[in-house]
Amino acid sequence: MNKIPYCLMNYVLSAIINSEHYNEKHRKGSGFKLNGGTRMREGLVTRNTKETQINVKINLDGKGDCQANTGIGFFDHMLVLFTKHGLMDACFDVTGDLHVDSHHTIEDTGIAVGLAIRQALGDKKSIRRYGTAYVPMDEALVLVSLDLSDRPYLVFDAQFSQPMVGQMDTQMVEEFFRAVAFNAGITLHIKVLHGSNCHHIIEAMFKAFGRAIDDATRLDTRIEGVMSTKGTL
Ligand SMILES: [Mn+2]
């Protein structure tokens, strides 16, 4: 059996207790429900290539607990902020070919994050669908507006005055968000309204993305089915 990272053990346990079989056997009639649903809204993605080995877990109904180990300190910092401000619980266990550069590691993490969000959303019933957040950090001000539409699109309006923040290439920020948007099925607009310090700008971006995801993934009992006149999301 492959080694299961410690921080993913909760996922394995919750997958068991939320399984049909377990519910049938142990919880029938107990009224066990989470946020009006019968399923934990979690996504678990394992993605292995010759360039990267990635395990990502995201629970949309968390409290902001996060473990991030990507080998890139500033990227870990951003993933922790994204999780905290999105009130998710998450684990990002990533080994990448950093001897090449940070490209594969960051882009492939974005792919896994996108797939995990998609998986956690499930049938998208009763979710609010849209989320928008403005987040300032000192002189920086960032707008993120998104739609969980299954229409992948990225508008990224940002300029960075420095090529690197710590060990993270600033040009990989756009690649990360593109990978998330295209694998989760998100129409994603990110616009820097003001800012000069790259650390501030990128940090405001990840916090705003977390808040917008939290907003869009909230369950609203007034919404019967999905929030679409077309009847599908
Ligand atoms: Mn910071």
Token readout for 98 is 């950093």
Q: What is the pLDDT of residues 79-123, one digit of tens each?
A: 999 999 999 999 999 999 999 999 999 999 999 999 999 999 999
Question: Which residues keep their CB under 5 angstroms from ion ligand 1?
Answer: 203
Residue 48 has pLDDT above 60, yes or no: yes
**What share of the chain has pLDDT > 70, as a percent?**
84
Gap between the Cα atoms of 217 and 124, Å rounded: 8
- In the DSSP assignment, the letter for residue 29 is T
Mean pLDDT of the 149-153 span: 97
pLDDT band of residue 4 (cuts 50, 70, 90) is low
pLDDT at 39: 73
What pairs with residue 59 in β-bridges? Answer: 42, 89
Say if strands 42-48 and 52-59 run parallel, antiparallel, or are unpaired. antiparallel
HSE-CB at 14 with a 13 A cutoff on CA atoms is 20
Mean pLDDT of the 186-193 span: 98
Gap between the Cα atoms of 190 and 206, Å rounded: 10
pLDDT at 152: 98
Q: 103 C-alpha vs ligand 1 centroid, how far in Å?
A: 21
Q: What is the pLDDT of residues 161-171, one digit of tens each?
A: 999 999 999 99
Q: 66 C-alpha vs ligand 1 centroid, how far in Å?
A: 16
Quick check: helix, strand or coil at residue 136? strand
Nearest to 132 by CA among 217, 187, 213: 213
Q: 61 C-alpha vs ligand 1 centroid, how far in Å?
A: 24
Quick check: helix, strand or coil at residue 164? strand
Gap between the Cα atoms of 126 and 103, Å rounded: 36
Q: 39 C-alpha vs ligand 1 centroid, how far in Å?
A: 34
Q: 33 C-alpha vs ligand 1 centroid, how far in Å?
A: 37
pLDDT at 24: 42
- In the DSSP assignment, the letter for residue 210 is H
pLDDT at 34: 47
- Main-chain dihedrals φ then ψ at residue 101, nearest 5 degrees: -170, -165
Q: 74 C-alpha vs ligand 1 centroid, how far in Å?
A: 8
- Walk me through the domains of the chain, giving residue ranges and CATH numbers: 6-217 (3.30.230.40)
